Structure 1
Amino acid sequence: MTKPRLAIIPGDPSGIGPELMARLLNSDGVRDAAEILLIGDGHLWRQGAEQADLPVDPVGIGEGDVPGFEGLCHLDMETIAPTEVKRAEVTVESGRSALRTLDKALDLAMVGHVDGVLFGPFNKAALTAAGLNAEDEHRYMARYLGFDGYHSEINVLDELMTTRVTSHIGLKDVADNISGDGVRRAVTLAHDTLVQSGKTRPHVAVAALNPHAGDNGKFGREEIDILEPVVAEFQDRQMHVTGPWPSDTVFLKAKVGEVDAVVTMYHDQGQIAIKLMGFDRGVTVAGGLPIPVTTPAHGTAFDIAGQGVANPGATRAAFDLLVRLAKTHLAQRHASTE
């Protein structure tokens, strides 16, 4: 099968992104797994190579060469001057650089020149200062792509995915925002993304909202009135969806591989569990978008930026997952044109 073509951007120049990408590009099998296009300022890629003390040696190409690029290539951009890179600082210049390289990667994906995008960690404060004008980068990307369908962040650890029905809202507002439609969307997103990553019949477990899954209504009726009927709907369609499971035990099932995904009701219900199980391997997927996009789940790590000690585990996991997602995306695109 044709190798997928991936765009890689360094993320926030002030953080560990450039170093992480240098370490990734020197990892076993990476350059054999995909055609790779580095996007952004040449001095940022050199910065990463110097911080990692590893070579980054792409072939420089111009805009006209992008459609047929092979191997490891670099499309140069001037987004930030070397003197404007302030290590371990939140700056509007770094935020602007991250957004400009992201825009370029999305542009190339929209016209089919790349099959997926991997970005280094962003700093949300820097993005906001630079004009993000969205709740997060996921909503920014959807708006930039003109995509108005359902999309949401997916958190991944090894072979386990988590989606959530509510996200960045106060805990006191969660129960009022749990709906049948919301649960259906979160289950469908988990199922479809797992299929795209290569799972043939994924097991999606739905976490309960209340203690002991409501204990037959004693601690709340969301499980009875909302969650159980939705689970039954998916089961009637012969999909492997189970629950609602008490949230203090469902991740025990996930940890031993009994389920492929957990649908949680609110942000920290899943985030705490999955980060405890493997913070250094976590991946974030921009779920639901028309193109595959992944990134390591951790942040810019200003406390270690420039010290040459960044752990590339999550970045490698993000790359490997992106390769799988991009292969399916590429196959689907080819099938649609035949």
Structure 2
Amino acid sequence: MTDALRPRIAMTMGDPSGIGPELAVRLLAEPDTLDQADVRLLATPAELDAACEEAGVQVPTSPEPTAGHVTLVPPQLGDRPVARGRATVEGGRRAMTDLLHCLDLYRSDSVDAIMFTPLNKSALHWAGMHEEDELRWFAKELGWDGTTSELNFVPGLTTSRVTSHVALSEVSRRISARSVLDATRLLHQVVRDNGAESPRLAVCALNPHAGENGQFGREEIDHIEPGVELARAEGIDASGPFPCDTIFIEARDGRFDGVVTMYHDQGQIAMKLLGFDQGVTVQGGLPVPIATPAHGTAYGIVGKGVASLGPTRRAFEIATNLGRRASLARAAQPAGG
């Protein structure tokens, strides 16, 4: 029987053409990392050795899950040469294949959460990922039709989105009381699972000045405020809608644990200003927790050893927290339940 307090994390090195391998081995070389969880890394011994040599670190391994050691999982496309420092179809194919392998590990009850280092959307598209983002691709591969949202984390604050990777011209028509409730409910759950006992949530308006009582649009009156009321009726501590050009100041100062945003850049600009070097993305709402640093493959600094480890370290902590929560929930279920 596994120790529910030590979740099992499947980790990939992301797009091998980018800084992902460097970030993965630097993280795994830190003793505190392997004290938190049992890590299954999708890499061959040769790939691990090459990444460690480039980064100047050592990562202890064991053929079986052992505290303080990484267990290597043979990847399906291991040891195939991939060009470094630029987007490639080979890099995208390897990243996708590794993620599919992680989903298989979850389906077989071999892991509690998944973490991957940065991917490149162009490389993934060339390799065959045609959904609007990785979240929708994960949902399709899992056959999952529940509520999903990308969640973004900086220390002390998390955001969810009512709409995500869509044109701005599509945003208004996708906002409804139900979609606001869904994004608020999901944010409440994930922030709570990550350690906040009673999350305090703010909900953004869509229009300038929160619509000025309908002068600048009725989305706040017709959809957003009713969605907030539905969330409050479920016992969620949500308030709003607030003008988005001021609410992040209050959130930064500690009044809120999370903010529900209406579209991608409404939250992302604020979050990256608040903590670009600590940003994490969680694929929220899926049946398995999935986390990744909220930055790209940084092809221009591959091999230079200067990539910031902060977001990767934080992504691992969040994946561990969410994976532990999922493991404990399963352990509490009655036999056959």
- Per the normalisation by structure 1, the TM-score is 0.93
Paired with 2:193 and 2:57, the residues of 1 have a C-alpha distance of 33
Q: Does 1:327 align with 2:324?
A: yes
- For 1:277 and 1:15, locate their aligned partners in 2 and report how far apart those are by CA, in whole Å: 25
Are the aligned partners of 1:8 and 1:39 in contact in 2 as well (CA < 8 Å)?
yes
Runs ≥4 in structure 1, deviation > 4 angstroms? none
- Unpaired runs of at least 5, structure 1: none
| Correspondence for 1:205 among 191, 199, 202 | 202
Whether 2:96 is the aligned partner of 1:99: answer: yes
The gaps in structure 2 that reach 5 residues or longer are none
Alpha-carbon distance, 1:162 to partner? 0.6
Distance apart, 1:337 and its partner CA: 4.0
- Looking at structure 1, the residues matched to 313 and 213 of structure 2 have their Cα atoms a distance apart, in angstroms, of 44
**Contact 1:190–1:263 at 8 Å: present in 2 too?**
yes
The answer on whether the counterparts of 2:135 and 2:150 sit within 8 Å (CA) in structure 1 is yes
Superposed displacement of residue 178, structure 1: 1.3
CA distance in 1, matches of 2:76, 2:173: 47
Supply the distance in 2 between the matched residues of 1:189 and 1:95 (Cα, whole angstroms).
Answer: 29
The alignment status of 1:74 with 2:77, answered yes or no, reads no
- What is the TM-score when the length of structure 2 is the normalising length? 0.94
In 1: Cα distance, 2:135 partner to 2:236 partner: 28
Matched, 1:4 2:7: yes
**Cα distance in 2, alignment partners of residues 160 and 28 from structure 1:** 27
CA distance in 2, matches of 1:26, 1:69: 15
Please state how far the C-alpha of 1:148 moved relative to its aligned partner. 1.6
Counterpart CA distance in 2 for 1:212 and 1:309 is: 42
CA deviation after TM superposition for structure 1 residue 317, in Å: 0.4
Q: Which residue in 2 is equivalent to 1:238?
A: 235
Contact residue 41 and residue 78 of structure 1 kept, 8 A: no
2:130 and 2:217 map into 1 onto residues whose CA distance is 37
What letter is aligned with 2:154?
L
Letter in 1 for 2:271: I
Q: 1:41 to 1:78 in 2, by over 3 A?
A: farther
**Residue 48 of structure 2 corresponds to residue 50 of structure 1:** no
1:16 to 19, 23, 36: 19
Partner SS for 2:57: coil
Q: Is the 8 A contact 2:225 2:241 kept in 1?
A: yes
* Contact 1:40–1:101 (CA under 8 A) maintained in structure 2: no
Moved more, 221-230 or 111-120: 221-230
Match of 1:312 in 2: 309
| Correspondence for 2:221 | 224
> Would the aligned equivalents of 2:59 and 2:70 in 1 still touch at CA under 8 Å?
no
State percent identity of aligned pairs: 45
CA RMSD of aligned residues (A): 1.6
Residue 208 of structure 1 and its aligned partner are, at CA, apart by: 0.6
Q: Counterpart of 1:249?
A: 246
Q: SS of the residue aligned with 2:281?
A: strand
Q: How many angstroms apart in 2 are the aligned matches of 1:2 and 1:195?
A: 17
Q: Could you tell me how far apart the structure 1 residues matched to 2:57 and 2:14 are?
A: 19
| Counterpart for residue 156 of structure 1 | 153
Deviation string, structure 1 residues 211-267 (Cα, Å, up to 9, x no partner): 111112221111112111221222233321000011011100111111111111111
Q: What CA distance in whole angstroms lies between the structure 2 residues aligned with 1:146 and 1:43?
A: 34
1:79 Cα offset (Å):
1.0
Match of 1:143 among 140, 143, 149: 140
Q: Report how many aligned residue pairs link the two structures.
A: 331
Structure 1, residues 87-127: CA drift from partner, whole Å, max 9, x if none? 11221111111111111111111121111111010111111
CA shift, 1:78, in A, is 4.7
Among 81, 84, 87, the alignment partner of 2:84 is 87
Q: Equivalents in 1 of 2:218, 2:145: separation in Å?
A: 32
